Structure 1
Amino acid sequence: MDAVSLKNQGNKLFGEGRLAEAIKCYTKAIELDPENAIFYSNRSFAYLKLEDYGFAIEDATKAIEKNPKYPKGYYRRAVAHMALYQPKEALKDFKNAVRYAPNDKSALQKSQECEKLVRRIRFEEAIQAEEPPSALEGINIEDMDVPTDYDGVRLEGKMTEEFIRDFIQRFKDGKRMPLKYVYWILREIKAFYEQEPSLVEVAVENDEELVVCGDTHGQFFDLLNIFETNGAPSPKKKYLFNGDFVDRGSWSTEVALLLYSYKLLYPDNMFINRGNHETNDMNKMYGFEGECKAKYNERTYRIFSETFVALPLATLIGKHYLVLHGGLFSKDTVTLDDIRKFDRLQRKQPGQSGIMMEMLWTDPQPNAGRGPSKRGVGLQFGPDITKKFCELNNLKAVIRSHEVRQDGYEVEHDGRLITVFSAPNYCDTTGNMGAVIHIQSTYELKFAQFSAVPHPNVRPMAYASGLLGLM
C-alpha cells in the first residue's frame, strides 16, 4: 500500500474513533514518505484526540518543518499548547495559521480569543500582589442568608447524613446548593486539609473495607452509581478518590461538594488526593472555573482553588501501596519521606518541574528507563523505574490513575503498577468501563468494573474554554 492510501485508511479509522489504529497508518505513511507535512499533521490531530499533547506538538512541529507555510501545522500546535494552558505559545501559532490561511474564519476567531486571554493574563500578572488574600476573607458565612425559597434540609454548623441525602436529590433534580452552605463546606475543608500531611497514611482494619477510585471528572451520576453499587461512605466503608474529580464532566461542582461533604461527615473514612486537574491552569481550560461562575460565582471558584492547594498529594495504604494521581519520578532516590516533607501549601501549583509536578503528571511506558512525556508535561517511566521505587520504599505496588483504561483498570510493570480509572464512557465518547479497587484487611486487591449510567442531556465540557472547541 502506498503512503497516500495509508493516510486515507488512517483518516477512515480516525473517523470511526479508532485512534490508535489511525496513528499506526499515519506512521507507516510517514515511513514511506517522510517529507509530507500532511501525514504529520494528521497524526498530530489523532494525538490531540488521545490527549497526548506532547506528541501532538512534536508532529505539528515536524509538519511545519516540512512546510513552513502549512497552516494546519500551526493550528494543531496551537491547540496542543492551549490544552496544556500555554496561551502565549499558542498565540504565536494561531497568528501564523491566520497568516497562511487568511480566509479561515475559525483560525481568525481563535487567534482573537487567544490574544484576549494573553492580554488578560499579562494584566493580572502586572497587578497581582505578592500574596493575594484568601477568597474567604471578608465573608461572614454565619450571617449569610439562605434564600427564602429554599425548601431543603438546613445545615446548622455540622455535616449530617440527612443533609447529604437531601442535596444529592436536589443535585439530581438540577437544583443548586445555597451559597452559604457552599462557602461553609469549602471553609471547613480548607481548614481541615491545611493541617494534613502531604502523604496521608491509612490502615484497613478487620471489619473495614477501602474502595480506591480513579478519575471521576465531574461525572456526578456515575459517582452516585459507584456509591450505590459499592456502598456509600460509612464508618466501615472507607473511600479514597485519587484526583481529577473536576473538569470535563459538567457536574464537577456537584462531585466536589459531595466528596467534601462526606469528608466532613466521616473524616477518618473519606480520603482525597490531588490530581493534575485540581489546578488553576487546567480549571481555566477544561470547565471547572466556568462551571463555578455559571452555577455560583467567581469567588466560589477561587475558594475551591484554595481547597485544591490544601489537598494531600498521595496516600499510603497499610504501608503496602502508594496511591498518587500521576506516577513516579525523574530520580531513583525519591523516598516516601521526601513526599512527607514536601511543602505543598507553599508550592501551591505544580508548575513545569519538580516532585509535585511529577506526582500529578507522569505516565508509565512499557520500555525500560525514562522517556519524554507524551503529554508535553512530565515524563514516562518504565517497569525498572517502578521496581526500584517499590524496593527502595518497601512497597508491594504503586496505584495511580490519570489515564483512561478501556477495562477501567490495568495491572502493568510486572504487577507493581496499577492504573484505575473511574469515569466510564469518559466524556460520553470513549466507551470505556469504569473500575474501582476493593481493599480489605488482607490488603489483597479486588477490582470491580461498571458501565456508565444515563445522565441529563448536558454535554461534557459544557463550561470549558471556547479555545478548546478546536478539538
Structure 2
Amino acid sequence: MGSSLAEATELKNKGNDAFKKQDWPEAVEWYTRAIEAYGKEPSFYTNRAQDANKAIELDPSNVKAYYRRASANTAILHHREALEDWKLVVKKAPGDATAKIRKTECEKIVKRDAFLKAIEVEDAPSAAEGLDVEHMAVDPSYDGAKLGKEMTLEFIEDMIERFKNGKKLARKYVFQIILAVMDIVKKEPTMVEVDIDGGQEITVCGDTHGQYFDLMEIFRLAGKPTEEHMFLFNGDFVDRGSWSTEIALLLYAYKWLYPTRFFLNRGNHETDDMNRMYGFEGECRAKYTERVFKLFSESFSALPLATLIGKKYFVLHGGLFSDDKVTLDDVRKLDRFKQRQPGQSGLMMEMLWTDPQTQPGRGPSKRGVGLQFGPDVTKRFCETNNLEAIIRSHEVRMEGYEVEHDGKCITVFSAPHYCDSTGNKGAFIKIDPEYKLKFTQFDAVPHPNIKPMAYASNGLQGLI
C-alpha cells in the first residue's frame, strides 16, 4: 500500500497497453493492481466502469467517471440510473455529441420500458394462441427442403446451407420448429441429468452469441450431432452477433431431431430485457416477425437451467450461489415456470449471472448484477454434491477456456474474436465415457460483412 503514485501510474499504463491489444482480462488485472498500489487517484477507478462510484466519491466533478458509470448501467440495463448520469455528462460537457446521443436513446428506452410495464399482463396468453400452423401456406417461390410433421436430417442440412447463403426459412417452418422445441423443453426438468454410455461422447459449448459461421467451425472440428455424439450448448446462443436467428433455429432443429441427445441450457441472454437491447428482438423482426420473437421468448423461459453430466460435472451458464446451503437438490426442485424472467435476485438469477473470482469468499459482481464466488465456495459446493467440477460459460476467455479454482471451476466460451473486436480464441470440451475432458481451441472464421450488433438498440451500438 506504500507504493508511490508514479509506480501505480506505471501499472495503469500496462493496463492501457493490454487494453489496446484487446486483452480485457489482463487490462482489468493491471488496473486493479494500480488501485491496490495507490487508491487515492480518481482516474484509476474510471478505467474499470464498476469502480466509477469510487472515482466520483474521490472527485465529484470527474466527467469521465460519470460517463463510465452511465455506460456500465446502460450495458446492464439499469436505464433510469444511466439516464441520470447521461444528463450530468451532457450538462458538464455540452460539446460531447456521443453523450447527447446516448442520453436521447436512454430516454427512449426508459419510456419504452415504462410502457411495457404498464401493459404487462401477469397471465398473458401464449403467442401461439390462434396460430394455425398446420394450415399455413408456404410461398410457392420457397426453394428449400420441405418440412413435414417431424424434423429430418435432410431438412437440417438444407437449412445449414440456406443460412450460409443468407437465405431464410419459410415462416411456417420457423413456427413449427419453435413450437415443437417448446413442447419438448417444457417436459424436461430444471436440471437435466445425462450419462455417457460406451460408444458415446458429449461436446459442451459455451456462448455462441449469434456467430453462425463460427458455429459451423465447431461442427467441422467436433463433428455434427448424432445419436452417439451428444451436444450441450450452455446458454447465450443469441444477441450481439448478427446471425442469432440462424443459430437459434439450427440448435432448435437439432433439439427436435435428437430430443434426448441434444441439450440446451438457458443463458442470461435468453431473456427479454437482454434480447430487446442486444439485438435478438430486432433481428427476429427484421428477418421474420414480432410473433417469432414472442414465441422464442416463451421457449427461452422454458429452457432448463443446468445439466448434470455423469453426476460429475454440473454445467450451468453463470455460476454458483450466494448461500452455501444450496445443493443440487435445490436446483432439481426449482420451479423455473414460476417466473419467466430471472429478475434481480434468487437462484435463477444467480445461475445465469454469477462469475468466479480469484480471492476466497464472495464479492460484488463486476457486472453490477449477481455476485462473484471464490475457490473456497466452489470447493465446498463440489464436496457437498460429490462433483468433480462445475462447467460454466458467460465470460470471454482469451484462450477460449480457463480451468481455475484448483481445477474445480471450468469456463468455456465458444464465440472466437467476440464481436469482431476481442481477439480471443473459442473453445469446446469433449467428455468421453470415462468422463475425461478434452479441450479444443479454435480461431474465428470469415463471415459476410455484417457487423455485430446490427440489430441492437441504437444506444448500445458503441457499448460492445
Q: TM-score, normalised by structure 2?
A: 0.94
Query: Which of residues 331, 340, 343 is equivalent to 1:351?
Result: 343
Tell me which residue corresponds to 1:419. Answer: 411
Cα distance in 2 for residues equivalent to 1:239 and 1:5: 46
Cα distance in 2 for residues equivalent to 1:378 and 1:311: 20
Name the CA shift for 1:224/1:112 in 2 (closer, same or farther; >3 Å): same
Tell me which residue corresponds to 2:22. Answer: 17
Where in structure 1 are there 5+ consecutive unaligned residues? 45-55
Deviations 1:54-98 (A, max 9, x none): xx23x2222222332333222211111111111111111111111
Deviations 1:237-272 (A, max 9, x none): 110111111111111110110000001011111001
Name the CA shift for 1:19/1:342 in 2 (closer, same or farther; >3 Å): closer
Cα offset, 1:12, TM superposition: 4.9
Say if 2:23 and 2:398, in contact at 8 Å, map to a contact too. no
* 273-282 vs 15-24, greater mean Cα deviation: 15-24
Query: Which of residues 170, 189, 194 is equivalent to 1:197?
Result: 189
Cα distance in 2 for residues equivalent to 1:371 and 1:30: 17
Name the CA shift for 1:5/1:229 in 2 (closer, same or farther; >3 Å): closer
Is residue 223 from structure 1 mapped to residue 215 from structure 2 by the alignment?
A: yes
Tell me which residue corresponds to 1:50. Answer: none
Tell me which residue corresponds to 1:48. Answer: none
Cα distance in 1 for residues equivalent to 2:306 and 2:35: 41
The 5 A counterparts of 1:32-71 are 34-41=39-46, 43-44=47-48, 56-57=49-50, 59-71=51-63
Query: Which of residues 443, 447, 455 is equivalent to 1:451?
Result: 443
Tell me which residue corresponds to 1:236. Answer: 228
Query: Which of residues 183, 186, 199 is equivalent to 1:207?
Result: 199
Tell me which residue corresponds to 2:249. Answer: 257
Say if 2:101 and 2:459, in contact at 8 Å, map to a contact too. no
Query: Which of residues 148, 151, 162 is equivalent to 2:154?
Result: 162
Cα distance in 1 for residues equivalent to 2:387 and 2:199: 23
Amino acid at match of 2:169: M
What SS is found at the alignment partner of 2:446?
Answer: coil
* 346-355 vs 11-20, greater mean Cα deviation: 11-20
The 5 A counterparts of 1:45-444 are 56-57=49-50, 59-444=51-436
What SS is found at the alignment partner of 1:142?
Answer: coil
Name the CA shift for 1:31/1:370 in 2 (closer, same or farther; >3 Å): closer
Say if 1:235 and 1:266, in contact at 8 Å, map to a contact too. yes
Deviations 1:399-423 (A, max 9, x none): 1111112222122212222111111
Cα distance in 1 for residues equivalent to 2:35 and 2:379: 35
Deviations 1:119-145 (A, max 9, x none): 121122122222221111121111211
Say if 1:198 and 1:340, in contact at 8 Å, map to a contact too. yes
Say if 1:285 and 1:468, in contact at 8 Å, map to a contact too. yes
Cα offset, 1:17, TM superposition: 2.7
Cα offset, 1:174, TM superposition: 0.3
Say if 2:400 and 2:441, in contact at 8 Å, map to a contact too. yes
Name the CA shift for 1:138/1:319 in 2 (closer, same or farther; >3 Å): same
> What is the aligned-residue RMSD (CA, Å)?
1.9
Say if 1:70 and 1:100, in contact at 8 Å, map to a contact too. no
Deviations 1:440-471 (A, max 9, x none): 21111111222211111111111122111343
Deviations 1:6-52 (A, max 9, x none): 666654553343445545665566567755443322x13xxxxxxxx
Instruction: Report how many residues are paired.
Output: 458
Amino acid at match of 1:404: V
Say if 1:193 and 1:311, in contact at 8 Å, map to a contact too. yes
Where in structure 2 are there 5+ consecutive unaligned residues? 1-5
What SS is found at the alignment partner of 2:162?
Answer: helix
Say if 1:197 and 1:312, in contact at 8 Å, map to a contact too. yes
Amino acid at match of 2:459: L
Say if 1:216 and 1:244, in contact at 8 Å, map to a contact too. yes
Cα distance in 2 for residues equivalent to 1:143 and 1:264: 21
Cα distance in 2 for residues equivalent to 1:416 and 1:35: 36
Q: TM-score, normalised by structure 1?
A: 0.93
Say if 1:71 and 1:98, in contact at 8 Å, map to a contact too. no
Identity of aligned residues (%): 60
Name the CA shift for 1:431/1:136 in 2 (closer, same or farther; >3 Å): same
What SS is found at the alignment partner of 1:347?
Answer: coil
Amino acid at match of 2:20: G
